[in-house]
Amino acid sequence: MKLFKFGGASVKDAEGVKNVLHVLQTVGHEEVVIIVSAMGKTTNALEEVIKNYFEKSKAFHASLQEVRKYHNQILLELFDDENHEVFYAVNSHFADLEYFLRSNKSPNYNFVYDQVVSYGEIVSTTIVSHYFNEKGLSNQWVDVRNLIKTDATYRDALVDWDQTQKRISKQIKKKGLYITQGFLGSDENNFTTTLGREGSDYTAAIFAYCIGAESVTIWKDVPGVLNADPRYFENATLLHQISYREAIELAFYGASVIHPKTLQPLQRKEIPLYVKSFVNPLLPGTSVSKGADLEPKTACFIVKKNQLLISLSAIDFSFIMEENISEIFALLHQYKIKVSLIQNTAISFTVCVEDKFGHFEKLKSVLSKKFKVAYNENVSLYTIRHFTPEAATMVEKGKTVLVRQTSRETLQLVTKE
């Protein structure tokens, strides 16, 4: 059994859906599980719906209708007959979403978020599944929420591996083509949960681990894993082969091609991962597998924008000791603020963090009771794996370097443009 994952860019419009069909016809679709993300920027659009919902904005209904119109246009371009059952199925999903938004009583933003954004994946897979059946590619649509069980940490749920293993093993047999959703799971009360933003790669790894898959392929709009993001760096080059270890390092530091959680389940069972182009599906792409000899022979550049640099010092100029650091990390964990870099001196402690849930103001209020708090907003964190002096000079050019940290293999720079 193989796992294929197609992200939002691959199904952003009708032509994209047709191309996914072409990819499968080109590379084969026997004994394949396909994980599909929400179409295009649907998750962003649904986040806007949630924002308007909580703010009781007049734009709420219009923002929801925009999401419906977007998907309806794709349907009209894929299906000639407006009486096709797919129109009923998609309308039924949106009716369920609207019912939830009318009847919900929970003030919990994260809970509401997961219930609402999940419809992006539910609708996209419904459309793709019906289109494939229409074109003679028989498949089984599967609701992933019945298979991946998690705790109730909405927006960043933890997988219950025992339950998930049993359910996936029972549902996914060694024959046929299955289509299911990325990013989603459900808690013990069967409320929808999500696995963290961009979690569809992780979904593919979960399925692969549970069924002992032959391989996982992530289909992207790039030829594979590049040594740099071409949006920020010129002359990015393809990494043909890398080890699990190197891929985990790159993902940890923020490389966007592979989700950070994806590699660990695959490494445990030594399931190879391929990152390939859905534009040119016969190109070899990048393979990720076991082997210390697969380290890149070139510098790899990663940049994370919109970071926060926080510096703490004791109010009475006393040392920052282990108990202080332990308390600081407990608070960072409590407020779900992800740490990307740490640096400390005798009387100060500095962290570069990502505040994806918008909790920094609350954290700052708590920290200010014990520490002097200084911070810089909208900084960039550059990481250079296998760095050279020339690579460092190139990144530093034209920027103010606030923090510089060097280890044997890695250079990290926090900069202000």
* Amino acid, single-letter form, for residue 170: K
8 is in an annotated binding site: yes
Q: What are phi and psi of 129, to 5 degrees?
A: -60, -45
Beta bridge partners of 385: 300, 410
Asked if residue 126 belongs to a known ligand binding site, the reply is no
Residue 348, both tokens? 């100060």
Question: Position 326: which residue type?
Answer: S
Hey, what are 76's tokens?
């009209």
Contact 220, 159 (CB under 8 A): no
Amino acid at residue number 204: A
DSSP β-ladder status, 338-344 and 348-354: antiparallel
**Residue 65 to residues 89, 91, 358, 401: CA-CA distances in angstroms?**
17, 12, 27, 45
- Residue 16 marked ligand-binding: no
Is 60 annotated in a binding site? The answer is no
Cβ-in-10-Å burial (0-12, 13-18, 19+) of 248 comes to buried
**Per the annotation, does 6 bind a ligand?**
yes
What tokens were used for 49?
Answer: 């719906």
The annotation status of 231 as a binding-site residue, yes or no, is yes
Judge whether 397 is annotated as a binding position.
no
**3-state SS of the chain?**
CEEEEECHHHHCCHHHHHHHHHHHHHHCCCCEEEEECCCCCHHHHHHHHHHHHHCCCCCHHHHHHHHHHHHHHHHHHHCCCCCCHHHHHHHHHHHHHHHHHHHCCCCCHHHHHHHHHHHHHHHHHHHHHHHHHHCCCCCEECCHHHCCEECCCCCCCCECHHHHHHHHHHHCCCCCEEEEECCEEECCCCCEEECCCCCHHHHHHHHHHHHCCCEEEEEECCCCCECCCCCCCCCCCECCEEEHHHHHHHHHCCCCCCCCCCHHHHHHCCCCEEEEECCCCCCCCEEEECCHHHCCCCCEEEEEEEEEEEEEEECCCCCCCHHHHHHHHHHHHHCCCEEEEEEECCCEEEEEEECCCCCHHHHHHHHCCCEEEEEEEEEEEEEEECCCHHHHHHHHCCCEEEEEEECCCEEEEEEEC
Q: Which residues are annotated as a binding site?
A: 5-8, 43, 121, 231
Q: Which residues are annotated as a binding site for substrate?
A: 43, 121
Q: Which residues are annotated as a binding site for ATP?
A: 5-8, 231
